Amino acid sequence: MTAPTPHETTARGLAHAATLAPYAVTEAASRGRAYDEAAPAYRGAFQRDRDRIIHSAAFRRLEYKTQVFVNHEGDMFRTRLTHSIEVAQISRTIARALGLNEDLVEAIALAHDLGHTPFGHAGQDALNACLRDHGGFEHNLQSLRVVEVLEERYADFPGLNLTYETREGILKHCSRANARRLGPLGERFLDGGQPSLEAQVANLADEIAYNNHDVDDGLRAGLLDVETLSAAAFFREQHEVVLARRPDLSGRKAVHETIRAMINRQATDLLETSRAAIEAARPGSADDVRGRHEPLIRFSASMFEQHRELKRLLRRRLYHHYRVHRMSMKTQRIVKALFEVFFDDSRSLPHDVQRRIEERGGGEPERARVVADYVAGMTDRFAIAEYRRLFTVDALT
Ligand code: MG
């Protein structure tokens, strides 16, 4: 990656850095952007990243992409957009309390799911299977691909030209094979280093957000009930605390108060455990953090265990619920069918997608990747509409 770009040390960045802890990421220590740019007058570099993410087409499409429930199943459920906003909100609270860079953590959180396929994990599994012979499909890597290559908005560079630090945070997981191809961004997956504390915060805020909102959505959908959830000690205890304080409370308010208490407990535990770990390790800079082999942002051992128990319960009782499973099967068939029809006959693709295949040489691996990009970029409802257009005789246009 490029050397730090001093001209992008902004007035906002300098003023902001003075308020941050020594282990926070600062603009002055940034590894910069792939393409140098003049500094913005009234924003910091990471604010600019955040703004570009919000203006991207991929961000808008998150509104119509599944978190757990397919978008058309109801207007009350989380989508990837509202999920990302919740992750950003939890991340910012924790970052601010720890003296970390709130602008950066917000950018990472808002971008972390940009590469998700339609239909959530079912869609990604289907696409990964379709690409078995062509390098596979990883949604984290796809999020990076969206911001580095696929967004077409700016005259002077491909993608969004985000800072190294935002891209580092977006790439939460990565296989070793893909890490080898990524240069500096992939190094930590090969040598066991860590990303910035901001990236670590966004990662665990993601877990706090989805565990809790999936409880809420699962209850709302009628696939979970309080009794089922009470098998997890964390839910049961928080529910009891709420009812001890307000025995008159029932229904949705009791559930919301329980979820509110769970988020609060988890965020507080994460914050306090991490603060103690940071004080013990005394990292002097963001690079000190990166050189460590263990993350410093973490839950206490007991909270980690409670969190995992709830996660296991959600997997068994919600993600593997027969009604969710049926929808997963259906949507996997849609993704597989779309991939296959486009891959086998690229003339059925829109002209601009065909052109992208040609530009990349037109071989089989290139075709597979461009088709995967096209399918991954679809919203739930667009994928369903494309499927109808391609496979039913009453929808020929
Ligand atoms: Mg997420």
Gap from CA of 116 to ligand 1 centroid (Å): 9
pLDDT for the residue numbered 85: 97
pLDDT digits (tens, 9 = 90+) for 83-102: 999 999 999 999 999 999 99
Structure letter (DSSP) for residue 361: T
Distance in Å, CA 387 to ligand 1 centroid: 26
Q: How far is the CA of 206 from the centre of ligand 1 (A)?
A: 5
Distance 38 CA to ligand 1 centre (A): 32
Q: How far is the CA of 288 from the centre of ligand 1 (A)?
A: 27
Ligand 1 geometric centre to CA of 348 (Å): 32
CA of 173 to the centre of ligand 1 (A): 12
Going from the Cα of 113 to the center of ligand 1, the distance in angstroms, rounded, reads 6
User: Among residues 325, 333, 335, 326, which one has the least CA distance to residue 382?
Assistant: 335
Ligand 1 midpoint to CA 395 (Å): 34
Query: What does the mean pLDDT of the chain come to?
Result: 93
**Model confidence at 8: pLDDT above 80:** no
Domain boundaries in the chain? 11-323
Place of tokens 């240069």: 183
Please say if the pLDDT value at position 132 is more than 90.
yes
Fold adopted by 11-323:
Hypothetical protein af1432 (1.10.3210)
Dist. CA 295–CA 304, nearest whole Å = 14
Using DSSP's 3-state secondary structure scheme, residue 345 falls into coil
Long-range CB contact pairs, 363-372, < 8 A, 24+? 364/134, 365/134, 365/135, 367/343, 368/130, 368/131, 368/133, 368/134, 368/343, 369/131, 369/134, 369/135, 371/339, 371/342, 371/343, 371/346, 372/127, 372/130, 372/131, 372/134, 372/137, 372/339
374 CA from centroid of ligand 1 (Å): 21
| pLDDT at residue 106 tops 60 | yes
Q: What is the model's pLDDT at position 294?
A: 95
The predicted structure's pLDDT at residue 320: 92
Statement: residue 396 has pLDDT above 70: no
Whole-model pTM: value is 0.94
Tell me the pLDDT tens digit for each residue of 230-278: 999 999 999 999 999 999 998 889 999 999 999 999 999 999 999 999 9
The pLDDT of residue 2: 46
- How far lies 288's CA from each of 186, 223, 230, in Å? 18, 45, 42
Distance CA 244, CA 139 (A): 43
CA distance 197 to 23: 8
**Predicted local distance difference test score (pLDDT) of residue 395:** 61
Taking a 5 Å cut-off on Cβ, the residues next to ion ligand 1 are 113, 206
